[in-house]
Amino acid sequence: MGMSDFQYVLDNQFFIDIDGDLVQKGKVNVSLSVKRTSSMFEMNFLLDGYAIVPCDRCLDDMEIPINATNKLIVKFGKEYAEESDEIVIVPEDEGAINIAWFLYEFIALVIPMKHVHAPGKCNKDMVNQLRKHSSRNDDGVNENDDDFIDEGNFEKEIKTDPRWDTLKDLIENDNN
């Protein structure tokens, strides 16, 4: 029946107003294309920009690029319901939908679970504090190693107490 296009800029104020847990700052440009038919509205979103989240390691802010396309289908019914991730039922007597929370969710879904600066980009003071207070120092990690705090070192096998090796052998034998 008709096609409409809208442009939005989601800035820091948007993230403050939405009061979500994950993202508090950022700037995301949204292009929304709405196709109207007799029974529904098909909304296609294009999001491009960045969100600012704290680094899991040093707690300094870091930018996460946001590039996503999403679709939302809005139908009319008796009461509000979310039939799926892409289909929403809006009461006929209201005839309106606030897309702000949907936009926030689209952004939040693009952000990886783990947000860590690239190697060498973390706050040096915080990295030094982590080195100083890490229990891994007792496991033979060299405190002067610049890569101590890098992702790869957390993946390495930690030395175990040799008394546990016997139990590990029992488990391995049980699996055979």
Report field, pTM of the whole predicted structure over 0.75 = no
Residues 132, 53 share a domain: no
| Domain boundary pick from 78, 110, 142 | 110
Range(s) of the domain holding residue 75? 2-110
Residues 130, 105 share a domain: no
Pairing of strands 40-54, 81-82: unpaired
Q: Sheet containing 40-54: give its strands across.
A: 2-10, 25-36, 40-54, 61-77, 87-91, 81-82
**Is residue 118 domain-resident?**
no
Residue type for position 130: L
What are the pLDDT tens digits along the chain (176 aa)? 689 999 999 999 999 999 888 898 999 999 999 999 888 899 999 999 999 999 988 999 999 999 999 999 999 888 888 877 888 988 888 878 889 999 999 999 999 999 898 888 898 888 888 888 776 544 444 444 444 444 444 444 456 677 777 777 777 776 66
**Is residue 115 domain-resident?**
no
Query: For residues 87 and 84, what is the distance between their CA atoms, to the nearest angstrom?
Result: 5
Residues 89, 131 share a domain: no
**Is residue 119 domain-resident?**
no
What is residue 138's DSSP assignment? G
